[in-house]
Amino acid sequence: MRLASFTDYGLRVLMRLAGTPDEAISTGQIADEFEISQHHLAKVVRDLGRGGFVSSQRGRSGGLKLARPAQTITLGEVVRHLEQRFAMVECFRADGGSCVLKPRCRLKPRLAAAREAFISELDRSTIADCAWPDSPVIAAE
């Protein structure tokens, strides 16, 4: 299954915020670090805010922070939220699409089951598991 770049960027934002949970980070800083369009990233951040994943504060010491602890946010929850608007195939569109196979198609239930298995696997990991940057492991000398 391929995730939309919108979802990819959303996961990157959350991973970055999880890496420094006590620090507010600007959208511009994240865009620079990950080489993402700031304009596009602002749309992603708005959607993450609507989903209850991030909070933002304006002003000199403002920026983005996780709205809840990283260990309580599963990857599956984020992907479900951000992928709502993207249909895997035509018949998965909110309006039902215009698939000519629709009356006798036996593919859709199999694709739906595969999508759920994919998301269920993502439910096993949290944003905390993927926090950026990882703390370096210091080898014993």
Count structural domains, the chain: 1
Say if 141 falls within a structural domain: no
135 located within any domain: no
44 CB-near residues (< 8 Å, 6+ apart): 6, 9, 10, 13, 82
Q: How confident is the model at residue 134 (pLDDT cuts 50, 70, 90)?
A: low
Residue 107: which CATH number? Answer: 1.10.10.10
- Reported as a single tens digit per residue, the pLDDT across 104-116 is 888 888 888 988 9
Q: How far is CA 89 from CA 10, 17, 47, 85, 92, in A?
A: 22, 32, 22, 12, 6
Domain around 104: 5-130
In a domain, 111, yes or no: yes
Q: Tell me how far the alpha carbon of residue 74 is from its chain's centroid.
A: 10
- Read off the pTM: 0.84
Q: Is 41 among the domain residues?
A: yes
